[in-house]
């Protein structure tokens, strides 16, 4: 009797255990919680590898910030190995900094951005600061590309794995659950770290990083229906005083007071709690991805038995995920633009330069968005790619930058113009929706100004007005000067101080050809004055060539028309390592006040071509060729080409040439070749070797002398540093013909 009773109890117990092990899969719903943590979130990828290996099927995913990004990609169908590959081939530093490629900017924007060290919003005579370091545009572009295959899913419960993410309403402090809408927008909002990225706007709500309110949304995952919770916690713990060294770390510390306390309870609600050992890493250690992924895998493997038991209880064979083919191209059927008030549709289309009803690559799409972003006219640019039959509609959601006025500043020194500080006032939408006006006032050893007004119509005809004035004094070789101007021959004079003033006003129209070339037609007024105090003039001279104690060589007003064709795809103005350059200019001088009584109609043509390309990993080669000539019988020499010196500021027809001092080689025609080798031995630090060769004389092209071996050569060896105020350059140059050398030095952007 006793044995029978004991055997019955054993059978009942065994049946209970067996039944529990064979629990129908529908009764076990596994929820995955992925916390935020910046770069620490890479550990999620390692954890997912182990979860997949154990055979656990995830039924729900909830995430915040980086957890939202990785969680969304996993929910959309990517495997852990695919995520590992994607993230390892992504330059996160580049994405976060959101540095726009130089070729995204128009020619006007290139010149404007390469002149100033600092730009600040200016409104009602008050200077403010940007609301964020980055717009997050590059990250958003990449999310749109990676999630293109689920673009039709507007209810995140319909993803391969139901998903949601958390954001914070910055106006109310309320938690916002994002489980509907456009997936890239939602996860971008969840990861919008304050001060680093511009806040997102969804359904009229201004949203920031969900980690502010709920960095580990275990409660929300449970409400979805999960009865077993796997959680990966990569949150930043409280830091000590030694590690609180940056504004980012201090902001995190303030936020973590609450999150650290909350995790005591939240971890208790987590069945399998994975806590990677990543305390030594920071939220910005994006360069340590491999290490952090490994830490996530190690932590998950410590829970492998529990994960395996869970997979057995699910009683499901986890099938391998079908690899996702990331689409490279699409066809944009329609362009829908929302959010523009001060800019025309033509302006936006002109910046995008995207063909409609034609195959376009994602790279081309991202380039168009970069073009639009480079204008600085839009605070945020969000867009959706929505299905339209077999093709795609591009829906732009633009938020205009409310800042229309800016104060910009910079400093500079070089051997020609000496020290200078630039103060700029820029204002947009002055007369038209698409215009910008800019005024540079330059203070220093030489007073200068630059005034520009430009109406940008994108690929349509744009127009502009500019006015610039430069004046400086320079000591030059008298022999070179007397060969180009009617001055006394005096063997006792070696050097002469020459004062040069150049006032140039232009009106032009411009259009873009084949998306790369800018073609301009315009009219120009120029006033030139060359004078000196070095040569003594008879005080009783009344011929008009003297101005008190100053001898004047040129003092004329010139009027011309011109055409210009420009291509500039260099990746950097000062240290190009790839890209092409072309600048062709033709001026026809039709009238003059004729100070020297020698004016006849004449033309001046010149062009410059260049190519830069990498030779080795840190070594690049830049090759340029340049030439120019004068057409006509006029004896005006003020527009002759003068080679010599070092610089990047365009003044009349002065051409830089290593080995010779400023105004060293004059002539009405020239041909020049330049070879420059750039070794970037550490980031932003360059060793440069340059060699240039030239023929310079009168009528080189008519006589055929430009085919001869070069008469002049020069070499340079120098150092360049890309500092926050612009390039710092030292260049030692010499010429075998002169058996002499020069040392050139410059600091800051050239203006």
Once rounded to an integer, what is the mean pLDDT over residues 119-141? 77
Lowest mean pLDDT among 16-20, 294-298, 431-435, 647-651: 16-20
Our measurement of the distance from residue 660's CA atom to the centroid of its chain's CA atoms, rounded to an integer in Å, reads: 36
- Read off the pLDDT of residues 123-132 as tens digits, 9 standing for 90 and up: 776 766 666 6
Could you tell me which residues are beta bridge partners of residue 630? 604
Residue 699, classified by CB atoms within 10 Å of its CB into exposed (0-12), middle (13-18) or buried (19+), is: middle
Lowest mean pLDDT among 21-30, 70-79, 84-93: 21-30
Which of the pair, 327 or 589, is modelled with greater confidence?
Answer: 589
Q: Which residues contact 624 (CB under 8 A, 6 or more apart)?
A: 581, 608, 609, 610, 611, 673, 674, 676
Of 12, 81, 69, the residue nearest 38 (C-alpha): 69
Given pLDDT bands bounded at 50, 70 and 90, which one contains residue 290?
Answer: very high
Given pLDDT bands bounded at 50, 70 and 90, which one contains residue 6?
Answer: very low
- Read off the pLDDT of residues 649-704 as tens digits, 9 standing for 90 and up: 888 899 999 999 888 899 999 999 999 999 999 989 999 999 999 999 998 887 77
Tally of residues, the chain: 751
Once rounded to an integer, what is the mean pLDDT over residues 246-264? 66
Lowest mean pLDDT among 12-16, 546-550, 613-617: 12-16
CA dist., res. 517 & res. 583, Å (int)? 10
Q: Which pLDDT value is given to residue 272? A: 96
CA dist., res. 731 & res. 717, Å (int)? 6
CA dist., res. 296 & res. 48, Å (int)? 8
Q: What is the CA radius of gyration of the chain?
A: 34
Query: CA separation (Å) from 598 to 46, 602, 666?
Result: 80, 11, 19
Once rounded to an integer, what is the mean pLDDT over residues 87-107? 80
Residue 208, classified by CB atoms within 10 Å of its CB into exposed (0-12), middle (13-18) or buried (19+), is: buried
Q: What percent of the chain has pLDDT over 70?
A: 88
**Relative orientation angle of helices 66-75 and 43-54, to the nearest 10 degrees:** 30
Q: Which pLDDT value is given to residue 663? A: 84
| Whether residue 529 has pLDDT greater than 60 | yes
CA dist., res. 501 & res. 88, Å (int)? 56
Residue 278 backbone class (left: φ over 0; alpha: ψ -120 to 50; beta: rest): alpha
- Read off the pLDDT of residues 568-595 as tens digits, 9 standing for 90 and up: 999 999 999 999 999 999 999 999 999 9
Given pLDDT bands bounded at 50, 70 and 90, which one contains residue 494?
Answer: confident
Q: Which two tokens stand for residue 103?
A: 């070729």
CA dist., res. 729 & res. 688, Å (int)? 10
Sign of the Cα torsion 137, 139, 142, 148 reads negative
Q: Which pLDDT value is given to residue 238? A: 61
Strand runs labelled E in 161-314: 163-169, 175-178, 200-202, 205-209, 228-232, 272-274
DSSP letter, residue 71: H
| Whether residue 530 has pLDDT greater than 80 | yes
Of 558, 528, 531, the residue nearest 546 (C-alpha): 531
| Whether residue 46 has pLDDT greater than 60 | yes
Q: What percent of the chain has pLDDT over 90?
A: 55
Query: How many C-beta atoms lie closer than 10 Å to residue 284's C-beta?
Result: 17
- Read off the pLDDT of residues 178-206 as tens digits, 9 standing for 90 and up: 999 999 999 999 988 776 788 899 998 99
Question: Does residue 107 contact residue 566 with C-beta atoms inside 8 Å?
Answer: yes
Q: Which residues contact 499 (CB under 8 A, 6 or more apart)?
A: 471, 472, 473, 529, 530, 531, 532, 533, 550
Question: What pTM was estimated for this model as a whole?
Answer: 0.76
Of 138, 72, 146, 148, the residue nearest 385 (C-alpha): 148
Q: Which two tokens stand for residue 560?
A: 């011309």
Average pLDDT of the chain to the nearest whole number: 86
Q: Which two tokens stand for residue 334?
A: 């329609």
CA dist., res. 242 & res. 410, Å (int)? 35
Query: How many C-beta atoms lie closer than 10 Å to residue 676's C-beta?
Result: 21
Q: Which residues contact 691 (CB under 8 A, 6 or more apart)?
A: 658, 674, 675, 676, 713, 714, 715, 716
CA dist., res. 585 & res. 606, Å (int)? 5
Given pLDDT bands bounded at 50, 70 and 90, which one contains residue 133?
Answer: low
| Whether residue 544 has pLDDT greater than 80 | no
- Read off the pLDDT of residues 370-404 as tens digits, 9 standing for 90 and up: 888 888 889 889 999 998 877 889 999 999 888 88
The tokens 């680093």 sit on which residue? Answer: 196
């Amino acid at each position: 009797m006793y044995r029978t009773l004991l055997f019955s109890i054993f059978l009942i117990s065994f049946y209970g255990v067996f039944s529990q092990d064979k629990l129908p899969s529908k009764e076990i719903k596994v929820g995955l919680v992925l916390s935020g943590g910046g770069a620490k979130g890479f550990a999620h990828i390692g954890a997912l590898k182990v979860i997949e290996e154990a055979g656990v099927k995830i039924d729900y995913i909830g995430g915040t910030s980086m957890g939202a990004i990785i969680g969304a990609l996993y929910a959309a169908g990517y495997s852990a190995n695919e995520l590992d590959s994607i993230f390892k081939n992504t330059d996160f530093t580049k994405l976060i900094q959101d540095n726009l490629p130089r070729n995204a900017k128009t020619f006007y924007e290139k010149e404007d951005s390469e002149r100033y060290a600092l730009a600040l919003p200016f409104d009602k005579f008050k200077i403010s600061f940007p609301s964020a370091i980055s717009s997050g545009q590059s990250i958003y572009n990449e999310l749109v590309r990676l999630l293109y295959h689920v673009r039709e899913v507007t209810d995140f419960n319909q993803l391969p794995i139901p998903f949601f993410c958390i954001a914070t309403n910055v106006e109310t402090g309320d938690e916002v659950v994002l489980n509907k809408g456009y997936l890239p927008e939602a996860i971008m909002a969840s990861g919008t770290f304050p001060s680093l990225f511009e806040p997102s706007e969804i359904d009229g709500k201004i949203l920031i990083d969900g980690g502010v309110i709920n960095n580990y949304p275990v409660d929300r995952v449970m409400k979805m229906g999960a009865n077993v919770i796997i959680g990966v916690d990569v949150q930043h713990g409280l830091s000590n005083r030694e590690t609180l060294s940056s504004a980012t770390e201090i902001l995190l510390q303030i936020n973590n007071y609450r999150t650290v306390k909350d995790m005591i309870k939240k971890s208790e609600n987590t069945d399998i709690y994975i806590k990677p050992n990543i305390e030594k890493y920071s939220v910005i250690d994006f360069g340590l991805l491999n290490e952090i992924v490994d830490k996530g895998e190690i932590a998950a493997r410590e829970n492998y038995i529990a994960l395996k038991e869970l997979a057995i209880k699910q009683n499901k064979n986890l099938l391998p995920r079908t690899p996702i083919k990331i689409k490279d191209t699409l066809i944009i059927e329609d362009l829908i633009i929302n959010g523009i008030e001060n800019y025309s549709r033509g302006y936006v289309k002109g910046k995008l330069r995207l063909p409609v009803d034609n195959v376009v690559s994602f790279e081309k799409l991202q380039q168009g968005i970069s073009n639009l972003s480079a204008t600085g006219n839009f605070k945020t640019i969000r867009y959706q790619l929505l299905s339209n039959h077999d093709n795609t509609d591009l829906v732009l959601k633009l938020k205009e930058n409310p800042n229309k006025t800016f104060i910009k500043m910079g400093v500079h020194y070089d051997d020609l113009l000496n020290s200078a500080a630039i103060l700029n006032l820029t204002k947009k939408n002055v007369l038209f929706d698409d215009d910008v006006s800019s005024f540079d006032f330059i203070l220093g050893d030489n007073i200068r100004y630059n005034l520009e007004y430009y109406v940008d119509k994108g690929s349509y005809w744009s127009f502009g007005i500019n006015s610039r004035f430069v004046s400086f004094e320079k000591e030059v070789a008298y022999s070179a000067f007397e060969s180009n101007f009617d001055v006394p021959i005096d063997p006792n004079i070696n050097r002469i101080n020459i004062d040069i003033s150049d006032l140039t006003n232009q009106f032009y129209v411009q259009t873009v050809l084949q998306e790369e070339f800018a073609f301009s037609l315009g009219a120009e007024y120029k006033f030139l004055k060359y004078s000196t105090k070095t040569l003594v003039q008879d005080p009783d001279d009344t011929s008009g060539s003297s101005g008190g104690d100053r001898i004047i060589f040129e003092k004329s007003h010139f009027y011309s028309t011109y055409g210009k064709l420009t291509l500039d795809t260099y990746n950097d103005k000062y240290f190009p390592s790839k890209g092409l350059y072309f600048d062709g200019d033709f001026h026809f001088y039709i009238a003059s006040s004729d100070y020297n009584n020698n004016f006849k109609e004449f033309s001046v043509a010149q062009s410059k071509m260049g190519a830069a390309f990498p030779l080795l990993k840190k070594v690049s080669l830049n090759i340029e060729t340049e030439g120019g000539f004068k057409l006509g019988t006029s004896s005006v020499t003020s527009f002759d080409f003068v080679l010599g010196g070092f610089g990047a500021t365009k003044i009349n027809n002065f051409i830089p040439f290593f080995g010779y001092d400023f105004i060293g080689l004059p002539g009405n025609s020239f041909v020049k070749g330049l070879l420059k080798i750039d070794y970037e031995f550490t980031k932003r630090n360059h060793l440069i070797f340059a060699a240039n060769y030239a023929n310079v004389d009168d009528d080189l092209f008519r006589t055929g002398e430009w085919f001869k071996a070069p008469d002049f050569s020069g070499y340079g060896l120098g150092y360049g540093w890309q500092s926050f105020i612009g390039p710092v350059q030292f260049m030692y140059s010499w010429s075998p013909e002169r058996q002499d050398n020069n040392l050139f030095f410059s600091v800051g952007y050239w203006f």
